A and B are shown apart, each in its own frame.
Chain A
């Protein structure tokens, strides 16, 4: 796309794009290239030389029980985060949409968690469910339930899912509410006059008209769960117990930084790179379609 009226000159525009291109080259493309290159080698234990292994790192990874388990963990985690946060947000948005007055007040109250960093959200939920001092843990104990996410894998997963979904509700709520408010009230009222009850109206009119928003949020939330929840997991479980909450991004970090297994970490980066590319393409394909609605 171009303007009909353009300015003359070649050096000036090159100078203008230079900062962005330099940053991109040094901090994005060079490291990404490094990751691809390093994924083909194994460094010796002293870091003095590198041994070419071709696709060896990938073969090793894909046969590694823990890495395969991490894929499953990531899938379970992402699906749960997406479903929980979109479900709660949709429920609240439907309620807020029914109000003639006051939905703005609720919106102001509900956008708060967007501002709370995932890592801080992690600390807040860790505090409530802390095995020693947590308030929720204590009341669960009164009910006879012994909460211990430090030892129980299912509880650990539940806690990181809820903490991650919590921070995302605001975002989903805003988009759902906007989507609902864009549906012409006359259509819904016509159905109501015809005697359609709430659930029928929702199923036959609201849900189909809301589907572009829903699909868009689905993709965006999966990307969030994959890549932006590191802070939640690092603060609450550090990937444990027994790697039960080690999602792929956490594993790149723990193998590369904590474990210093550079070849494997680089190969994991390459696999993640591949996954982001697919997600980005899906997102953009979809956004092109969204324009037509």
Chain B
């Protein structure tokens, strides 16, 4: 295979043109991120007197330590912690409750099974964006404004994850459940000792997608966290812009933007195989 060069793949000048086209594309896509990084390493006067430099300066440690320890409204380290907690809570919560309900739906016969299945399916049609005010009222009535429960709970129902696990469980050979039953193992024993270990890769792939989903939430934290100490980093950036005519503290804001991307980028690039698998599987 390695020796094979087809007629349609390009060689010579064509090959270089192809690379050139891709490099221009990559450069276009990277430029906003590069510029944000540069801005996070220079001083405020260098930015407010345009044009700003296009090469990093020497203020990296000053800007990042100022952002992490002081920020504008709240230290960014705190917001990073909130985001991490929220993203992990959403990812783990979604996976846990979906595994359990998929297990029940595939391996049991019980009244209301069809109904439950459809109720879970219908949540696909109810994104947070269409039920903003009433969901906010529910959380307010529970006294969950500015709390982790409030950030996490309304987002952890998951039709996609439930379907994915259901699909996977359907492909697990019946003999395994049969053997477990013959050995006198109860359903939960079967679930924890056999089904869960077999689902490892699926769980990991889904985790990557859901972690990013949770980390990148914007509207929901914006509504329910009025206390700056509960802000997540993604929604907190906008709050760092001054109202009125004051000039924004760009180096600190850009350092915060870079910090907001680092964890999800590490997850996506570091677990690329799992990420692509998760992406394709969750769209099936």
Cβ proximity bits A256-270 to B, threshold 8 Å, 1 near / 0 not? 110000100110010
From the candidates B133, B138, B260, name the one contacting A269 in the complex (CB within 8 A): B133
Within B53-102, the residues touching A (CB, 8 Å) are 54, 96-98, 100-101
Residue in B closest to A276 when the chains form the complex, CB atoms: B125
A273-B272 in contact (CB<8A): no
| Consensus secondary structure, chain A interface | helix
Taken together as a complex, chains A and B put the C-alpha atoms of A188 and B10 apart, in Å, by 13
Contact flag A17-B101 (CB < 8 Å), given A31-B134, A106-B26, A273-B126? yes
Cβ proximity bits B44-59 to A, threshold 8 Å, 1 near / 0 not? 0001101110100000
Taken together as a complex, chains A and B put the C-alpha atoms of A280 and B135 apart, in Å, by 21
A30-B8 in contact (CB<8A): no
B157-A23 in contact (CB<8A): yes
- Tell me the minimal C-beta distance from A226 to chain B in angstroms: 8
B135-A31 in contact (CB<8A): yes
B154-A27 in contact (CB<8A): yes
A185-B8 in contact (CB<8A): yes
Stretch of A57-65, A109-117, A145-153 with 4 or more beta carbons under 8 angstroms from chain B? A109-117
B129-A21 in contact (CB<8A): no
A120-B5 in contact (CB<8A): no
A6-B107 in contact (CB<8A): yes
- Tell me the minimal C-beta distance from A53 to chain B in angstroms: 17
Tell me if A48 counts as interface (CB < 8 A to partner B): no
Taken together as a complex, chains A and B put the C-alpha atoms of A2 and B106 apart, in Å, by 6
Contact flag A13-B124 (CB < 8 Å), given A20-B100, A124-B36, A135-B52? no
Residue in B closest to A252 when the chains form the complex, CB atoms: B132
Taken together as a complex, chains A and B put the C-alpha atoms of A193 and B8 apart, in Å, by 10
Within A12-53, the residues touching B (CB, 8 Å) are 12-14, 16-17, 19-21, 23-32, 34-35, 38
A230 neighbours in B (Cβ, 8 Å) = 129, 218-219
Taken together as a complex, chains A and B put the C-alpha atoms of A1 and B137 apart, in Å, by 38
B39 neighbours in A (Cβ, 8 Å) = 127
Taken together as a complex, chains A and B put the C-alpha atoms of A193 and B6 apart, in Å, by 11
B interface size (C-beta, 8 A): 110
Taken together as a complex, chains A and B put the C-alpha atoms of A34 and B120 apart, in Å, by 19
Contact flag A133-B50 (CB < 8 Å), given A6-B108, A120-B261, A128-B32? yes
Residue in A closest to B11 when the chains form the complex, CB atoms: A100
Interface centre among B10, B33, B111, B130 (most CB of A within 10 A): B130
Tell me if B247 counts as interface (CB < 8 A to partner A): yes
Contact flag A29-B238 (CB < 8 Å), given A4-B174, A132-B48, A227-B127? no
From the candidates A7, A20, A116, A189, name the one contacting B187 in the complex (CB within 8 A): A7
A35 neighbours in B (Cβ, 8 Å) = 130-131, 133-134
Taken together as a complex, chains A and B put the C-alpha atoms of A6 and B280 apart, in Å, by 29
A234-B238 in contact (CB<8A): yes
Tell me if A174 counts as interface (CB < 8 A to partner B): yes
Tell me if A9 counts as interface (CB < 8 A to partner B): yes
Cβ proximity bits B227-259 to A, threshold 8 Å, 1 near / 0 not? 000000011011000000001001001100100
Taken together as a complex, chains A and B put the C-alpha atoms of A234 and B18 apart, in Å, by 37
From the candidates B10, B52, B98, B138, name the one contacting A98 in the complex (CB within 8 A): B10
- Tell me the minimal C-beta distance from A30 to chain B in angstroms: 7
Stretch of A67-75, A76-84, A89-97 with 4 or more beta carbons under 8 angstroms from chain B? A89-97
Residue in B closest to A25 when the chains form the complex, CB atoms: B119
Contact flag A135-B50 (CB < 8 Å), given A20-B162, A31-B138? yes
Residue in B closest to A236 when the chains form the complex, CB atoms: B238
From the candidates B30, B48, B51, B235, name the one contacting A119 in the complex (CB within 8 A): B235
Taken together as a complex, chains A and B put the C-alpha atoms of A17 and B99 apart, in Å, by 9
Taken together as a complex, chains A and B put the C-alpha atoms of A98 and B283 apart, in Å, by 26
Give me 12 A-to-B residue pairs in the complex whose CB atoms sit less than 8 angstroms apart, sorted by A's number: A13-B107, A17-B100, A21-B101, A29-B126, A116-B264, A132-B48, A133-B48, A137-B50, A169-B29, A253-B132, A269-B130, A269-B134
Measuring CB to CB, which residues of chain A are less than 8 angstroms from any residue of chain B?
1-7, 9-10, 12-14, 16-17, 19-21, 23-32, 34-35, 38, 88, 91-92, 95-96, 98-100, 102, 106-121, 123-125, 127-128, 132-135, 137-139, 166, 169, 171, 174-175, 178, 185, 188-189, 192-193, 201, 216, 220, 227, 230-231, 234-235, 249, 252-253, 256-257, 262, 265-266, 269, 272-273, 276-277, 280, 287
Measuring CB to CB, which residues of chain B are less than 8 angstroms from any residue of chain A?
5-10, 15, 18-19, 21-22, 25-26, 29-33, 35-36, 39, 47-48, 50-52, 54, 96-98, 100-101, 103-113, 116, 119-120, 122-127, 129-138, 153-154, 156-158, 162, 166, 169-170, 174, 177-178, 181, 186-188, 190, 212, 215-219, 222-223, 234-235, 237-238, 247, 250, 253-254, 257, 260-261, 264-265, 267-269, 272, 275-276, 279-280, 283-284
